[in-house]
Structure 1
Amino acid sequence: MNAEHNPNRINERLVSLDTLRGFDMLWITGGGTLVVFLAKATEWGWLNVIAEQMEHVPWAGFHFYDLIFPLFMFISGVAIPYAITGKLEKGTPKRELVNKITKRMLTLVIFGLLYNGAFENGFSDLRYASVLGQIGLAYFFAALIVMNTKQVRTRLIWLGGILLGIALLQLAVPVPGFGAGEMTKVGSVNSWIDQHFLPGKLYGGTFDPEGLLCIVSATAVTLMGSLAGAILRDGKAASARKAGFLVISGAALVIVALALSTFYPIIKAMWTVPFDLLTAGVSFLLLSLFYYIIDVKKWQGWILFFQVIGLNSITIYMFVRIFGKSLANISKFFLGWLANPAGDFGMVILTIGGIAFEWLLLYYLYKKRIFLRV
């Protein structure tokens, strides 16, 4: 399928994409914590199983919480055909778009440094790698690829090349003192590269989950998102057929990832190829579900809660980091009279209060049409 020269392509903003982004952000801005406290308070076995999914796996393996970050990157990739390809088709000079994505990348890198405490602790022992920096850099490289390729087939070649390169490095390149294929926090090729070429403090001591090789690997997830965006943008209107393409793509990626995981572990901290394929596959499936319900069937009465979060995702991410302690105090100030006598349910009440305050703030920005977009 040629995704670049169809005159019937749609250009409207995908409502489902903003909703899915809000669903994604909810879990790291209080939703996951709420499930954990609720499980502790109720001691319901089935809820304890779900609560376990609200934590990252220690190393190899996969929990739902490991999906949050790559899903966000996948979503940013879905937007590329709308934000980049659409402007190219309207005659926007490529240089102007390159300048735009460069500014976006630099802004997110700077925000990442601030998130890591540049103002709080200074630069002497700063961690330079960051979630926001990885988002900015991976989007930048993925957008460059989309911008300079006209056919989906060419992008698939780029995607295959990136994934193959990562696999060869992680499986076949010997690390001094450890050999090839070492998948540990100390002996992996990711660790060696981060220790030798990434300045500043490493999150894991001997490695960084947002390190240099992880950024390249995450570019592949963002690029897979752009392929999903090309599917959705191709044609006049939302359709079940497009949702079907997403389901088939997602299921195929999950199957391949699970097959590879028999000898090539799923490790989020290393962004191994099976991890990339699994998270992209699940992201395809989630996008298909949200797209079918919201854009195809037009069942939209429930989406405002998530839209409000999704349209200001960077804002709430930075807000929780900067004002997290104040947020807890605000919730306690207003709801302490309910929480204090409630025992284990007290933390459930306070967490709900924190989420409510965050949402009301975002709703105010939403009503005022104030969005932090970079």
Structure 2
Amino acid sequence: MKPDTASNLAPADAGAPTQGRRLLSLDAFRGFTIAAMLLVNDPGDWGHLHPPLAHARWDGWTFTDLVFPFFLFIVGVSMTLSLGQRAVQGGDRRTLVLKLWKRALTIIVIGLLLNLVQNFDLAGMRVPGVLQRIGLCILLAAPIVVYAGLRQQVAWILGLLAGYSLLMLLVPAPGADGVLRAGALQPGQDLGSYLDRLLLDGHLWSQSKTWDPEGLLGTLPALASTLLGVLAGRWLAGSAPPAEKTAWFFVAGIAALVLGMVLGLVLMPINKSLWTPSYALFMTGWALVYFGTFYWLLDGQPSAAWRATAARWFKPLVVFGMNALFLFALSALIATAGYTLKITRTDGSAVTLQQWLYAPIQALPIAPENASLLFALCFVSFMYLIAWGMWRKRWFVKV
């Protein structure tokens, strides 16, 4: 990574589709997503969480389950806008794909290094991860975005979701208990978990060991989520008036929410760990609604005075969004240090750095869930100070 002009969990340089103006709404939405990730990833006590700040145990969804698909949606939007600018500048298609692949591989390597830092054990290091899946989605989406037209991209989305459904529901696979089943959608029993054990045994999520929420097969519907963001980017880059763009973001978002709920009832339940088609569509619906709101407030309003006021209100999110990948990686390193480093107290007992920092908040006369949330809010504030300092000095990290 190097100091540059932008940093995202997606190919950066996503300027506005018109007038060469940067889209504040995309930066703010990215910043909202990274702030939400920091909030849900860094509580004071994992045993005491408000329900929306924890992932759904299996089927279903919570606020926390919005974060990852929001990142992939932003990846898709950013790819479209970034490649559109370069195409106008006469960029060669093969060169564009290679640049995207380079960025994808860089993100994958960063994710692997973050996993390695957790225990410095190559033999037992977890291979899948959030950044690894984001990198794989960029890697696979790059040629589709560069070479395929709108109809082909829609066909890819439908094919990925349909193909994944057929594989998961019809292809028998031995579960973690060794029993051969088809259509099993329980932890460790599905086809995806079997493939992960077959190819990555010993390198899966430590809390399950027999399956991984960022497993290989689930990358297929996650790629569809990314391509849905690509379609949103195509619409954003079009010539329609901002009010019309905003209206269709909401219409498409509500339609995706309804379709996702229906598929969750008749096909496969909404499930993040399996990244079911219902989950991919449902979360894309929320992404469209959230982003549509940011777009109208920050970029779509006809009043310049309104946009200026909104920019001031949403500036903290824009600051977060300008260095998203750096903040993602730094927060992971800080969290690892917090759970690894030991502090010796005056009574001679040893606690982790995280426990030591959390103790004064834990001692407050408030509910344990509120104390845990307060610690997370303090962590988000600390990370914002870092982001603000980098923004003020114009230090933007780009891969």
Q: TM-score, normalised by structure 2?
A: 0.81
1:129 alignment partner in structure 2: 128
Q: Report the CA distance between 1:206 and its aligned residue.
A: 1.5
* 2: CA distance, partners of 1:31 / 1:211: 21
Which residue does the alignment assign to 1:215?
Answer: 219
Alpha-carbon distance in structure 2 between the residues aligned to 1:215 and 1:355: 29
2:181 match:
179
Q: Is residue 78–residue 227 contact of structure 1 (8 Å, CA) maintained in 2?
A: yes
Distance 1:246 1:83 in 2: 20
Which residue of structure 1 lines up, in the alignment, with residue 151 of structure 2? 153
Q: Supply the AA of the counterpart residue of 2:334.
A: F
Instruction: Tell me: CA distance 1:232–1:180, structure 2 relative to 1, closer, same or farther (3 Å).
Output: same
2:193 is matched with which residue: 186, 191, 214?
Answer: 191
Q: Secondary structure of 1:79's partner?
A: helix
Q: Which has the higher helix share?
A: 1
Amino acid of the residue matched to residue 276 of structure 1?
Answer: A
Shift, 1:172, TM fit: 1.7
Alpha-carbon distance in structure 1 between the residues aligned to 2:22 and 2:218: 30
Q: Which amino acid aligns with 1:254?
A: L
Q: 1:272 and 2:276 equivalent?
A: yes
Please tell me whether residue 96 in structure 1 is matched to residue 105 in structure 2.
no
Matched residues in 2 for 1:18 and 1:94: separation? 26
**Are positions 1:163 and 2:166 aligned together?**
no
Deviation at 1:13, TM superposition (A): 2.5
> How far 1:84 moved relative to its partner?
1.4
Q: Report the CA distance shift for 1:91/1:185 in structure 2 as closer, same or farther (over 3 A).
A: same
Segments of 5+ residues of structure 1 without an aligned counterpart are: 1-7, 41-47
More displaced stretch, 193-202 vs 211-220: 193-202
Deviation at 1:140, TM superposition (A): 2.1
CA distance in 2, matches of 1:120, 1:32: 18
1:343 aligns with 2:368: no
Opposite residue 26 of structure 2, the aligned amino acid is L
Asked if residue 362 in structure 1 is aligned to residue 387 in structure 2, the reply is: yes
For residue 32 of structure 1, report the CA deviation from its aligned partner: 7.1
1:253 maps to which residue? 256
Written as runs of structure 1 = structure 2, the 5 A alignment for 1:40-119 is 51-118=50-117
Distance 2:121 2:364 in 1: 41
CA deviation profile, 1:304-363 (whole Å, cap 9, x unmatched):
111111111111111111123559969988x998x5873337666554433222111111
State the distance in 1 between where 2:214 and 2:372 align.
Answer: 31
d(CA) in 1 for partners of 2:97 and 2:263? 36
For residues 135 and 184 of structure 2, the distance between their equivalents in structure 1, rounded to whole angstroms, comes to 29
For 1:14 and 1:288, locate their aligned partners in 2 and report how far apart those are by CA, in whole Å: 12
Residue by residue over 1:279-309, the C-alpha shift from the partner in whole angstroms, topping out at 9 and shown as x without a partner, is 1111111111111111112232211111111
Contact 2:17/2:236 (8 A) holds in 1:
no
Instruction: Give the match for residue 203 of structure 2.
Output: 201
Larger strand proportion of the pair: 2
Q: Per-residue deviation at 1:372?
A: 2.1
Q: Judge which range, 264-273 or 190-199, deviates more.
A: 190-199
Q: CA deviation at 1:200?
A: 4.4
Q: Which moved more, 1:195-204 or 1:314-323?
A: 195-204
1:301 aligns with 2:303: no
Shift of 1:198: 3.1
Report the CA distance shift for 1:91/1:369 in structure 2 as closer, same or farther (over 3 A): same
The one-letter code of the counterpart of 2:252 is: S
* Distance in 2 between residues matched to 1:73 and 1:340, nearest whole Å: 35
**Pair 58,353 (structure 1): closer, same or farther in 2 beyond 3 Å:** closer
Checking the alignment, whether the CA contact within 8 Å between 2:101 and 2:142 is kept in structure 1 is no
Secondary structure in 1 aligned to 2:229? Answer: helix
Q: Which residue of 1 aligns with 2:26?
A: 17
Matched-pair contact (CA < 8 Å) for 1:126–1:201:
yes
**What is the aligned-residue RMSD (CA, Å)?**
2.7
Output one character per residue of 1:85-114: Cα deviation in whole Å (capped at 9) or x when no partner. 321232111222122111111111111111
Identity of aligned residues (%): 29
**Take 1:289 and 1:119, find their aligned partners in 2: how far apart are those partners?**
38
| Counterpart in the other structure of 1:3 | none
CA shift, 1:212, in A, is: 0.8
Match of 1:312 among 323, 328, 336: 323
**Distance (Å, rounded) in 2 between the aligned partners of 1:301 and 1:31:** 25
1:270–1:326 Cα change, 3 Å: closer
The CA distance in 2 between the partners of 1:350 and 1:271, in whole Å, is 30
Q: Secondary structure at the match of 1:117?
A: helix
Q: Which secondary structure state, in structure 1, belongs to the residue aligned with residue 181 of structure 2?
A: coil
- 3-state DSSP of counterpart to 1:182: coil
Q: Distance in 2 between matches of 1:199 and 1:109?
A: 19
Q: Provide the rounded CA distance (Å) in 1 between the counterparts of 2:292 and 2:136.
A: 26
- The alignment partner of 1:355 has SS state of helix
